[in-house]
Amino acid sequence: MRKAKRQHRSELSDEELAALDAHWRAANYLSVGQIYLMGNPLLRQPLEPAHIKPRLLGHWGTSPGLNLVHTHMNRVIRRRDLSALCVWGPGHGGPAVLANSWLEGSYSETYPDVSRDEAGMERLFRQFSFPGGVPSHVAPETPGSIHEGGELGYALSHAYGAALDNPELLVACVIGDGEAETGPLAASWHSNTFLDPVHDGAVLPVLHLNGYKIANPTVLARLPEAELDELLRGYGHEPLHVTGDDPVAVHRAMAAAMDTALDSIARIQREARNGGTVVRPRWPVIVLRTPKGWTGPDEVDGLPVEGTWRAHQVPLAGVRDNPVHLAQLEEWLRSYRPEELFDEHGRPRPQVLACVPAGSRRLGATPHANGGLLLRELPIAPLQEFAVPVDKPGMTLHEPTRVLGDLLESVMAATAGRRDFRLVGPDETASNRLEAVYDASGKAWQARTLETDEHLDRHGRVMEILSEHTCQGWLEGYLLTGRHGLFSCYEAFVHIVDSMVNQHIKWLRTSRSLPWRAPVASLNYLLTSHVWRQDHNGFSHQDPGFVDHVLNKSPEVVRVYLPPDANTLLSVADHALRTRDHVNVIVAGKQPCFDWLSLDEARLHCARGAGVWEWAGTESAGQEPDVVLACAGDVPTQEVLAAADLLRRHLPDLAVRVVNVVDLARLMPHEEHPHGMTDSEYDALFPTGKPVIFAYHGYPWLIHRLAYRRTGHAHLHVRGYKEMGTTTTPFDMVVRNDLDRYRLVMDVIDRTPGLGVRAVTVRQTMADARTRHHAWIRDHGTDMPEIADWAWGG
Amino acid sequence: MRKAKRQHRSELSDEELAALDAHWRAANYLSVGQIYLMGNPLLRQPLEPAHIKPRLLGHWGTSPGLNLVHTHMNRVIRRRDLSALCVWGPGHGGPAVLANSWLEGSYSETYPDVSRDEAGMERLFRQFSFPGGVPSHVAPETPGSIHEGGELGYALSHAYGAALDNPELLVACVIGDGEAETGPLAASWHSNTFLDPVHDGAVLPVLHLNGYKIANPTVLARLPEAELDELLRGYGHEPLHVTGDDPVAVHRAMAAAMDTALDSIARIQREARNGGTVVRPRWPVIVLRTPKGWTGPDEVDGLPVEGTWRAHQVPLAGVRDNPVHLAQLEEWLRSYRPEELFDEHGRPRPQVLACVPAGSRRLGATPHANGGLLLRELPIAPLQEFAVPVDKPGMTLHEPTRVLGDLLESVMAATAGRRDFRLVGPDETASNRLEAVYDASGKAWQARTLETDEHLDRHGRVMEILSEHTCQGWLEGYLLTGRHGLFSCYEAFVHIVDSMVNQHIKWLRTSRSLPWRAPVASLNYLLTSHVWRQDHNGFSHQDPGFVDHVLNKSPEVVRVYLPPDANTLLSVADHALRTRDHVNVIVAGKQPCFDWLSLDEARLHCARGAGVWEWAGTESAGQEPDVVLACAGDVPTQEVLAAADLLRRHLPDLAVRVVNVVDLARLMPHEEHPHGMTDSEYDALFPTGKPVIFAYHGYPWLIHRLAYRRTGHAHLHVRGYKEMGTTTTPFDMVVRNDLDRYRLVMDVIDRTPGLGVRAVTVRQTMADARTRHHAWIRDHGTDMPEIADWAWGG
């Protein structure tokens, strides 16, 4: 296909074209060098096996395409003085992005030992995918990146997240045709329905059809072009095609397509910002169709390589041992004419750098890709403004998330001008009772509206799409570019983004070890509509396991909070919103919940993370209790307090301690989590020889996994959700899972030695109450009045 | 919009139309009844608060649309004598599917106490979303269903899975416009690139645009119709629109659209099966645009309801206490004219049933939705044909997954005629070294092919798309309709389907309690390219946490296997492929691995699930060992054997026992998992007072979570992956995570009392080896020769 379609008028002079091609060749040379070489970087000597790395790792296939995009991004940034960021979806092609960063100088500024000369080039090559070196994918270590190239699917939602509230920013996003097959990527095309051309920047997707994945053709590359165009138009875009394998023709076509796209973006923004746009514009998309492994070996060992899946990783695998491969590699490297590209010191020649922009305009140096540099403190009003008054525990009820909604509304209002706070969620903001925020901001929406719609706003900062993946991707992109946000989600369905949060935690863990990466705002989850109150939606909506999932990950990043009431939720949320480089998981209910703590008490309790609720227990000061009733989570807390209430009445001589845990990591050993208690702290809370009946929000064995090293672990008995889910009443949910007040009292009696005959009677009373419950719900379909009417001390 | 577009020629007679409408009204009446009523089902008396359920739960909004689709499916099934299955994506609308099943009689056949008369109708109403009753969503309890309606996104991939290798089956699939926003759904549109019109059935998607989600408009409903058409054409479909809110017009339009669609499907299949089709056909899709909550209250309390998000769940919320709402409900119910629909016994009148097909043609009675009824034993050849010869342990190396590939090829070949086995994976079959299967079946592919392609086959049964979601959805649909399969996936990225496997496990757990659901083949995962051998791809590809995730779920369903070599992998896979109603997770390497056990030994070991490898230890018969070295997983097994080797040489007097665990649930208490060991079994393997150094494949605390109740738990010391990931060498990965042979020997020395001064020297030797390792990889980028050259007993 040695010919590029030229749909667009090219304006490149021959000199410009030669310079662009020189830059591209240099980037290609450096990409190949990283995959293969550990010596002789400039090919001053004939290539020998000793110059070749012992393990050949890396992805060549996508690299020349990424280099082409980078080269042409350089051109337009320079020409138009753009502020731009690029998300490299095919981030497996790490060598390409590293090569460009080195060429433009941002790499050496970030890592001075990898200087922009021959010595630095040798280091650049050697460190790539080498122990102690740099990953083979685009990663936190890569200057200019906010996107890890390992797990595919999130490039476009990251790009949109970066563009939100950055009106001057252009976010280019290369989407590989492999990644385009993933669900998260497919869903995120519709992000343009939420992009405000007035307050947001632009996203320019570049769909790179190189035709093959690891071993298969790609779906989009094999669609007839007309059908692909229909698809992209259906996604709200206007396609611009660049197709070919002749570099000169492709350079001309790419330059023209970029100019057309950027002119179109400028026009859309100009019209919208002059008050003109009222319907969602059709944004451009570039479809770049070039061969996989372009400019690499045509054939290896008699099999076609360029343009096939065989170019995916390392096209010549036997270079160290096979002289034919070695010669082929040398020929390949020399085909870029390195002597024209680099001077005698190994520095890129002026022609190579002619297209490169300056300073922070360089893609590897934009502060938007190191968002902590741009981050401002979030204006959070004093919590007194939102707190619920609590004179005595358990006398009033509030919906905790609704109280939090007032705080979020205040933050939303206070950032109305700055526009650096967003709330995302899969169509659940109101269902999760956070609708107060609509008083400060509507919901982002660029499509058609009807009279029956409510709270839709072309300039809104609440984002709702029925895609947890897209919500997560948007928020990640937004946070990594230096802003703040919160993701509110049904607890069970946050598992949909398990793998995404994995990657974000890994990103943050690595970033924390890079001094040049400034800390970013934490990713905050509010998990509500939780397992215990999904009685009505049933088994499919009941899953508390996200906490287990994140607690497997890096302890320096992960925090889990289970505030038991409205004021503790306020305190936890206030803290989480101020933290940096964390993933904070907050699990809190939206149903009416007793208020246990005043704001001051809540603050103190949350600062401690776990503590004795003296007012709830019956222990005497200075004496060890007979038994500890511990709880974490709002529903378990209520059941524990009801159990304590029952014990106080039925076994008044028993010294009961009530412990509430807000910060789950407090249970972990101090050596394993920065929030973990020391053994002496733990033993002071849970006396080593005493039974501990622990009512936990989620899977009970998680508590054992956190506390198994503690001296008193043998006396720890945990109740929690054990997958006994169904459609039923709220109280029946806790009964089915043996977390109810009656069962907890029975547990106390069963585990506390020496209670005497009175306890036997009490135990039978509790068992009878459970029997009564079963009969009542069968007949009435509701919870017994004694449950509905219960109140602390009532 | 009181007018439906009539794009298609209607053939309905007035009588037919009246009958269809009667059926639809009956289904609507029964849907409303389920949400509200616990008495007076036929409205023989004026409606009173006592007839109303105490808790009003359910989703009305989508129900009338589902009822419309069901009514018209009935019509075409009957008229064309179709074998059909329907996947109800908006399965929140459980009342609709239950109503239709009750009308057609399949419900009463499945649940005789819910008879097709007044008493049964009252039960049908009362049980809905009631404790001890049935879920509010389509669920395993629902006759005719293979798809839970709780978590959205998987309807279309389930539908395709059901259609594969069922050439006579029509699978209709209703896709809600909410669900259509999810990533998994968006990706699964491209499934038609993989559907073989010769050997597979047809999928007829019905995109139901009712306009709103819980609280927001939907993206697709607000696209201009021309843009939506482009999108659907881009997805490979030909759209047929049915739009309106006048029942008569919509019935006519829907009947015409269904006829057009089915004619088109019949033509495509006829041409393909006559050898005509060579390009992917354009399959029809019906776009059904009707108001949310159609036929329900127009307004409630002065606010619009029908056609808005307010119709999503229960439009009249205050019926028991608010006489106006009560009157409105009565009016609403009576608007369907129940007296015309049901006779004096509450039985549907003949006109209502006129469209209903007979016997197993009914959607609630198709055996395809109870796939176990159709399931055949998989023909698996004797394992001797594939086993690797092992005379002595550790003398030869094989790639375990490549050996498994031979077994899979044999199964694929043996099912060539029956076509009831599929292998799915995200473009990783060859990467995971299973490519032998291509000798028996190519990869399904209906799009354009090029000369450079390999193994693509219009009739292939290997399915590869770069979407774990789509792979999982296809396989679930395939298994639930009575076939067999295996999903091969990179270990880290299987987290992408965490939430899907949750739902599948929940489905199986519930199905197991329903006597009428016949057991289906298990969902088998082969997780390879695992954490320890993702040294080259780096941190983003390193995550062994899927095992933790599934082990939180129902123990009667979940099985986890970690075969340590090729023959144990064969034995485990053979077992897994024969099981029913399980989710089997098999973690196995693709890299060359020592062969430890002969086939006979492997079978015995896998049957036991965990056992002593006498040949590897130094204990004397009849005596307790000094220390136990335990392992689970291929890389930990190799490190434990290398550690045992070092101990044998350096501390020959130490009595070391080597235990290998294949079946991870063996470690759990017998009471908690059917595979769990009794305490006496456990204590016999791990003597209670002796230190156990356990090298585990994944996160080490998982082993503690499984074994914390065991007597000897205090002496259990686990090594595993602790998120110390990076791009490095394989051996450096184990060193970084303290799982290496040297560290294990140091652990033995540190934890075994009374070893004397010799041990101090040995410990230093081990520490020196680790230091040597660090220096070597820094200089060479490879593992030390002593690692590369190590062999058991060598």
The total of other beta-carbon atoms located within 10 Å of residue A499's CB is 28
Let me know if residue B378 belongs to a domain: no
Considering only CB atoms, A543 lies closest to which of B152, B232, B502, namely B502
Same domain, B425 and B571: yes
Confidence of residue A11 (pLDDT cuts 50, 70, 90): confident
Q: Please determine, for residue A5, whether its predicted confidence score (pLDDT) is greater than 50.
A: no
Let me know if residue B34 belongs to a domain: yes
Same domain, B300 and B185: yes
Same domain, A325 and A404: no
Crossing angle of helices B94-104/B118-127, nearest 10°? 160
CA distance readout (Å), B410 to B66, B407, B434, B438, B479: 43, 5, 12, 11, 20
Distance CA B657, CA A106 (A): 56
A165 φ/ψ sector (left φ>0, alpha ψ -120 to 50, else beta) = left
In which order are the strands placed within the sheet that holds B202-209? Answer: B83-88, B169-176, B202-209, B283-289, B237-243
Place of tokens 């290369």: A174
Would you state the pLDDT for residue A750? Answer: 97
In the stretch 345-364 of chain A, residues with CB closer than 8 A to chain B read none
Distance CA B379, CA B376 (A): 9
Q: Please determine, for residue B94, whether its predicted confidence score (pLDDT) is greater than 90.
A: yes
Let me know if residue A632 belongs to a domain: yes
- In SS3 terms, A485-529 reads as EEEEEECHHHHHHHHHHHHHHHHHHHHHCCCCCCCCECEEEEEEC
Candidates B57, B92, B216: best to mutate against A (most CBs of A within 10 A) is: B216
CA–CA–CA angle B313, B319, B325 (5° rounding): 95
Mark which of A593, A617, A640 sits at the end of a domain.
A593
Would you state the pLDDT for residue A537? Answer: 87
CATH number of the domain to which A782 belongs: 3.40.50.920
Confidence of residue B732 (pLDDT cuts 50, 70, 90): very high
For chains A and B, what is the number of CB pairs under 8 angstroms?
353
Beta bridge partners, B217, equal: B212
Same domain, B55 and B124: yes
Q: A334-363 burial, b if ≥16 CB within 10 A, otherwise e?
A: eebebeebbeeebbbeebbbbbbbeeebbb
CB B509 within 8 A of CB B569: no
Considering only CB atoms, A466 lies closest to which of B181, B230, B728, namely B181
Considering only CB atoms, A308 lies closest to which of B53, B231, B452, namely B452
In the stretch 443-462 of chain A, residues with CB closer than 8 A to chain B read 443, 445, 447-450, 452-453, 456
Place of tokens 């219009």: B458
Smallest Cα distance from A389 to chain B, Å: 30
Domain span including residue A43 = 14-369
Ordered DSSP codes for B415-434:
TTTT--EEEEESS-TTTTT-
Confidence of residue B535 (pLDDT cuts 50, 70, 90): confident
CA atoms within a 13 Å half-sphere pointing along the CA-CB vector of A402: 10
Ordered DSSP codes for A253-317:
HHHHHHHHHHHHHHHHHHHHHTT---S---EEEEEEE--TTTTS-SEETTEE-TTSGGGSS-S--
Distance CA A751, CA A793 (A): 25
- CB proximity A672 to B under 8 Å: no
**If you measure CA to CA, which chain A residue comes closest to B312?**
A431
Would you state the pLDDT for residue A279? Answer: 77
Candidates A134, A191, A427, A724: best to mutate against B (most CBs of B within 10 A) is: A427
In the stretch 676-735 of chain B, residues with CB closer than 8 A to chain A read 699, 701-702, 704-705, 708, 713, 723, 725-729, 732
Mark which of B567, B593, B619 sits at the end of a domain.
B593
Let me know if residue B386 belongs to a domain: no
CB B512 within 8 A of CB B505: no
| Nearest in space to B636 (alpha carbons), one of B570, B573, B565, B584 | B565
Place of tokens 């139309």: B17
CA torsion sign for A489, A494, A496, A498 is: positive
**Burial of residue A622 (number of CB atoms within 10 Å: 0-12, 13-18, 19+):** exposed
Q: Give the H/E segment covering residue B230.
A: helix B225-234
Q: Give the H/E segment covering residue B301.
A: none
Would you state the pLDDT for residue A535? Answer: 86
CA distance readout (Å), B20 to B15, B16, B144, B257, B753: 9, 6, 21, 15, 82
Same domain, B179 and B154: yes
Q: Please determine, for residue B202, whether its predicted confidence score (pLDDT) is greater than 60.
A: yes
Q: Do B131 and A304 touch (CB under 8 A)?
A: no
Q: Do B502 and A509 touch (CB under 8 A)?
A: no
Percent of chain A whose predicted confidence (pLDDT) is above 70 = 98
Instruction: Tell me the two tokens of residue B114.
Output: 């819910």
Taking only the tens place, the pLDDT of each residue in A238-254 is 999 999 999 999 999 99
In B, which residues are within 8 Å of A234 by CB distance?
A: 223, 227-235
Q: Please determine, for residue A361, whether its predicted confidence score (pLDDT) is greater than 70.
A: yes
Q: Do A466 and B218 touch (CB under 8 A)?
A: yes
Same domain, A589 and A620: no
Q: Please determine, for residue B4, whether its predicted confidence score (pLDDT) is greater than 80.
A: no
Does the predicted TM-score (pTM) go above 0.95? yes
The total of other beta-carbon atoms located within 10 Å of residue A1's CB is 12
CB A59 within 8 A of CB A94: yes
Same domain, B75 and B151: yes
Instruction: Tell me the two tokens of residue A557.
Output: 């990043």
Distance CA A566, CA A571 (A): 9
Would you state the pLDDT for residue B794? Answer: 66
DSSP β-ladder status, A283-289 and A237-243: parallel
Distance CA A70, CA A96 (A): 9
CATH number of the domain to which B482 belongs: 3.40.50.970
Confidence of residue B622 (pLDDT cuts 50, 70, 90): confident
Would you state the pLDDT for residue A10? Answer: 52
Region A313-318: what's the mean pLDDT? 94
Distance CA B738, CA B271 (A): 62
Let me know if residue A205 belongs to a domain: yes
**If you measure CA to CA, which chain A residue comes closest to B231?**
A234
Taking only the tens place, the pLDDT of each residue in B638-661 is 999 999 999 999 999 999 999 999
Q: Please determine, for residue A278, whether its predicted confidence score (pLDDT) is greater than 90.
A: no
Q: What is the mean pLDDT of chain A?
A: 96
Let me know if residue A3 belongs to a domain: no
Q: Which of A363-372, A718-727, B5-14 has the highest mean pLDDT?
A: A363-372
Distance CA A615, CA A620 (A): 11
Distance CA B516, CA B143 (A): 9
In A, which residues are within 8 Å of B449 by CB distance?
A: 217, 222
CA–CA–CA angle A491, A497, A501 (5° rounding): 105
Would you state the pLDDT for residue A672? Answer: 95
Q: Please determine, for residue A8, whether its predicted confidence score (pLDDT) is greater than 80.
A: no
Same domain, B634 and B587: no
Considering only CB atoms, B467 lies closest to which of A182, A552, A732, namely A182
Region B252-261: what's the mean pLDDT? 97
The total of other beta-carbon atoms located within 10 Å of residue A276's CB is 10
- CB proximity A152 to B under 8 Å: yes
Considering only CB atoms, A539 lies closest to which of B506, B705, B728, namely B506
Percent of chain A whose predicted confidence (pLDDT) is above 90 = 95
Q: Do B135 and A456 touch (CB under 8 A)?
A: no
Let me know if residue A376 belongs to a domain: no
In B, which residues are within 8 Å of A499 by CB distance?
A: 492-493, 495-496, 498
Confidence of residue B11 (pLDDT cuts 50, 70, 90): confident
Beta bridge partners, B424, equal: B463, B487
Smallest Cα distance from A129 to chain B, Å: 6
Same domain, B204 and B128: yes
A36 φ/ψ sector (left φ>0, alpha ψ -120 to 50, else beta) = alpha
Same domain, A649 and A713: yes
Would you state the pLDDT for residue A295? Answer: 97
Let me know if residue B601 belongs to a domain: no
In the stretch 204-243 of chain A, residues with CB closer than 8 A to chain B read 213-219, 222-224, 227-236
Would you state the pLDDT for residue A214? Answer: 92
Same domain, A616 and A534: no
In B, which residues are within 8 Å of A217 by CB distance?
A: 445, 447, 449-450, 453, 456
Q: Please determine, for residue B545, whether its predicted confidence score (pLDDT) is greater than 90.
A: yes
For residue A494, the Cα-to-chain-centroid distance in whole angstroms is: 12
Would you state the pLDDT for residue B5? Answer: 46
Considering only CB atoms, B782 lies closest to which of A54, A308, A708, namely A54
Would you state the pLDDT for residue A675? Answer: 98
ipTM attached to this prediction: 0.97
Taking only the tens place, the pLDDT of each residue in B401-436 is 999 999 999 999 999 999 999 999 999 899 899 999
Would you state the pLDDT for residue A7? Answer: 44
CA distance readout (Å), A571 to A275, A600, A665, A685, B102: 41, 9, 17, 22, 51
Q: Please determine, for residue B279, whether its predicted confidence score (pLDDT) is greater than 90.
A: no
Total number of domains constituting chain A = 3
Distance CA A585, CA A487 (A): 10
Helix (H, G, I), strand (E, B) or coil at A20: helix
CB B447 within 8 A of CB A227: no
Helix (H, G, I), strand (E, B) or coil at B394: coil
Mark which of A593, A622, A644 sits at the end of a domain.
A593
Would you state the pLDDT for residue A536? Answer: 85
Q: CA dihedral in degrees (A739, A745, A751, A756; nearest 10)? A: -160
Same domain, B176 and B310: yes
Confidence of residue A3 (pLDDT cuts 50, 70, 90): very low
Would you state the pLDDT for residue A794? Answer: 66
Q: Please determine, for residue B467, whether its predicted confidence score (pLDDT) is greater than 50.
A: yes
Ordered DSSP codes for A377-445:
------GGGTPPP-SSTTS-EE-HHHHHHHHHHHHHHHTTTT--EEEEESS-TTTTT-GGGGGT--EE-
